[in-house]
């Protein structure tokens, strides 16, 4: 093809047909430009289709990740409800000063030892958002929900850090100083809590303001965690719903 065009140019030049040569040259340039534009259009269409397919494949993985974390969040909510119940029971026994219920009180105090880190895991979403693909989301509602997800994820991390700090700074030092851990082991840990050793300091437990406040503060923390987790479930459910709707339209 190139030899053919070259032969035409040489023929026109040899016959001194300058005007026709210029027209031909312009036409050839136009054809080349059109060819380049067509190639670019095909390449752009291919890239867009590939991006859409990449986003779709990520969406499928993200839906599975959202479902797994929604179950995990709900499990954590249920755990907080159990811990709150134990904390409330402990305060009731302390308020009533029912010394016959000391064993029950100690078991309920054991809930303070729980430090179930929230630590959700979203590797697929983190990878998706870190890539340029996240800018290719066409659905504005999904874009907005991913922003809410990022806010929620960050907030969960802050709540988790507060819980860990509270335990390490306030709760653990108090429990270690005043209780034999075998006395305050909670359900599921009785079998590994060996009896014996120094006795827990229970003589002043009924008037111990620090213990009362530790339990009260921990109840607030459990409630705060529960509210954060419920917000997380709401955000995840909405994002999952939007993505599934988008997938059905592809």
Q: What percent of the chain has pLDDT over 70?
A: 76
What pLDDT, on the 0 to 100 scale, is given for residue 236?
97
Q: Is 5's pLDDT higher than 70?
A: no
Assess if residue 4 is contained within a domain: no
Q: Write out the chain in H/E/C secondary structure.
A: CHHHHHHHHHHHHHCCCHHHHHHHHHHHHHHHHHHHHHHHHHHHHHHHHHHHHHHHHHHHHHHHHHHHHHHHHHHHHHHHHHHHHHHHHHHHHHHHCCHHHHHHHHHHHHHHHCCCCCCCCCHHHHHHHHCHHHHHCCCHHHHHHHHHHHHHHHHHHHHHHHHHHHHHHHHHHHHHHHCCCCCCCCCCCHHHCCCCCCCCCCCCHHHCHHHHHHHHHHHHHHHHHHHHHHHHHHHHHHHHHHHHHHHHHC
Total domains, the chain: 1
Assess if residue 140 is contained within a domain: yes
Burial class (CB in 10 A: 0-12, 13-18, 19+), 44: exposed
Q: Which residues contact 81 (CB under 8 A, 6 or more apart)?
A: 226
Per-residue pLDDT tens for 117-128?
888 889 999 999
Assess if residue 46 is contained within a domain: yes
Banded pLDDT at 10 (limits 50, 70, 90) = low
Candidate ranges 45-54, 84-93, 107-116; pick with highest mean pLDDT: 84-93
Per-residue pLDDT tens for 52-70?
788 889 999 999 999 999 9
What pLDDT, on the 0 to 100 scale, is given for residue 91?
97
What pLDDT, on the 0 to 100 scale, is given for residue 49?
65
Q: Which domain holds residue 218?
A: 15-249
Whether the predicted model's global pTM rises above the 0.85 cut: no
Assess if residue 7 is contained within a domain: no
What pLDDT, on the 0 to 100 scale, is given for residue 12?
46
The pair of structure tokens assigned to 11 is: 């023929």
Burial class (CB in 10 A: 0-12, 13-18, 19+), 212: middle
Assess if residue 6 is contained within a domain: no
Assess if residue 22 is contained within a domain: yes
The rounded mean pLDDT for the chain is 84
Assess if residue 106 is contained within a domain: yes
Torsion on CA atoms 141, 145, 147, 152, rounded to nearest 10: 170
The pair of structure tokens assigned to 237 is: 């459910």
Assess if residue 240 is contained within a domain: yes
């Amino acid at each position: 093809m190139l030899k053919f065009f070259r032969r035409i140019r040489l023929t026109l030049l040899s016959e001194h047909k300058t005007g026709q040569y210029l027209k031909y040259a312009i036409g050839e340039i136009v054809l080349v430009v059109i060819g380049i534009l067509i190639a670019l259009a095909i390449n752009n269409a291919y890239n867009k289709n590939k991006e859409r397919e990449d986003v779709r494949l990520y969406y499928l993985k993200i839906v599975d990740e959202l479902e797994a974390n929604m179950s995990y969040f709900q499990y954590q909510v249920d755990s907080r409800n159990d811990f709150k119940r134990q904390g409330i029971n402990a305060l009731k026994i302390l308020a009533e000063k029912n010394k016959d219920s000391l064993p029950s009180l100690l078991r309920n105090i054991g809930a303070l030892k729980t430090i179930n880190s929230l630590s959700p895991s979203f590797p697929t979403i983190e990878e998706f958002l870190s890539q340029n693909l996240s800018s290719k989301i066409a659905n504005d509602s999904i874009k907005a929900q991913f922003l809410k997800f990022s806010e929620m994820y960050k907030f969960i991390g802050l709540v988790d850090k507060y819980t860990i700090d509270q335990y390490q700074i306030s709760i653990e030092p108090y429990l270690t100083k005043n209780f034999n851990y075998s006395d305050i082991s909670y359900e599921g840990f009785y079998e590994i809590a060996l009896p014996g050793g120094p006795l827990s300091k229970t003589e002043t437990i009924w008037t111990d303001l620090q213990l009362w406040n530790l339990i009260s503060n921990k109840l607030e923390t459990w409630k705060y965690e529960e509210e954060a987790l419920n917000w997380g479930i709401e955000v995840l459910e909405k994002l999952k719903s939007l993505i599934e709707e988008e997938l059905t339209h592809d």
